[in-house]
Amino acid sequence: MKASQILIIFLILSINSLIANSKIKSHNPSHFLTKYNKKIQQKQSESQDKCYGIVFDCGSSGTRYYVYQWECRSESSLPQLDFSQILSEKVNNPIAKHYTNPQALDSIFNPFFNKIKSIIPEDKHSSTLLMLGATAGMRLITKMQQFVIIDRIRTLFRNSGFLFLGDDRSRVINGEEEAVFLWVAVNYMLKNISLESDVDNPETVTTIDIGGASTQIAFSDIIDNQEAEEFYTLQVPQLPEQKFNFTLKGASELLGMDVSRYEILQSEVKADNISYASCFNQGFENNDTRLGKIVKGQGNPENCINKIRNLFQISNCSYPDEKNCSAKSIFIKGPQGKTTYAVSAALYAKLAYFGDVPEFNPHDLRNAAIEFCKQKHQDVVAKEPKNKFIDIKCYQGLYASTLLIDGYGVGDMQIQSPSEIQTQEPTWALGLLLFELSKRNSDSR
């Protein structure tokens, strides 16, 4: 099955550039603030020493909030976040399951609001920005079901006592936006985009996010105007202090680790209604309720790699052949030689095989996974009795390495995959905050 593929270009432009490129379509035009909200913003920047923002990340496994803190500045600018003061909490209660009873969402958000109000000083509540992004879990339900859930959340947000600037600040974001927001977050945390930079065009990194349902890549690149017109575009105003512009490509494929694993398992079902799973250790056996089949591990990593390649629509390139396989895949390739940061499932695969090291080579990960997959299931369980993900560790390593090598074509370069940057795990939620702040600051000028 060919995964849907959409490109998004994230443009941070100067005012002159916006005028010069007025023909470029904008997916999300600016929404101007009301006079009331402008007054709140002005009062906030002039009188408060600390500003706060809340971002809710509503995923397929649960609901998490982040509380961000920064020094208020009178001029329109990106915040200088205090990373030591970022607070976060999660409940394993995804919002997507509540479309038949949206009032049940109150029991998720009201306790969160009470907790956050105990963290943020009371006189700052009314000026604390509140926003939400819902991801994979919400994309899997119907538009009407999404509306019922988001509508209830917007009502809760309007009555929360925090600064909720409009319905567009609580919505379902798509995979391309996740790619963009993660890129912004990682490069901000690495100080590749900051107001203090003395470099006209600072070097940025490529970001790859491997999730359960989808996988995203984003990178800064130079493209000509003719190519730009073919892309799905989103314009973001440049802040007056910035000396540089970015053109960001982001792409998403509906072939995350969980989705791809079940597609392969389904393809290996035989006439006896058993899935003979090449991507699981020999001796593994389980009645998979999601698949509705018995799964029996075969421990055939070479065949598993080729199955994954087939999902990426790579033909005539069977393992161990690795030359130019990625040129045939459906994935957008990042710039060669550019530093790449990989998070989520890539991070977990690295941790599973190499521990908490800051970087890894995808070929080393593939080789380690092949050796692991050839072992008997009972033996690997005996070696790692406390690893609750031991059953999928074989697939985890083969999928992550094959995606990086044959999908995104990263070659033999080292992949940066830190558990934390500046004491925090990099997430798209920070990118959403920075995006909304830049839009808000532009609207207020």
Active site residues: 178
The answer on whether 292 is annotated among ligand-binding residues is: no
Residue labelled with tokens 């052949």: 321
The answer on whether 215 is annotated among ligand-binding residues is: yes
Q: Tell whether the torsion through CA atoms of 418, 421, 427 and 432 is positive or negative.
A: negative
Phi/psi class of residue 83: alpha, beta or left (left: φ > 0; alpha: ψ in -120 to 50)? alpha
The answer on whether 216 is annotated among ligand-binding residues is: yes
The answer on whether 271 is annotated among ligand-binding residues is: no
- In angstroms, the CA 304 to CA 362 distance is 16
Give residue 53's identity as a one-letter amino acid code. G
Residues of the binding site for ATP: 212-216
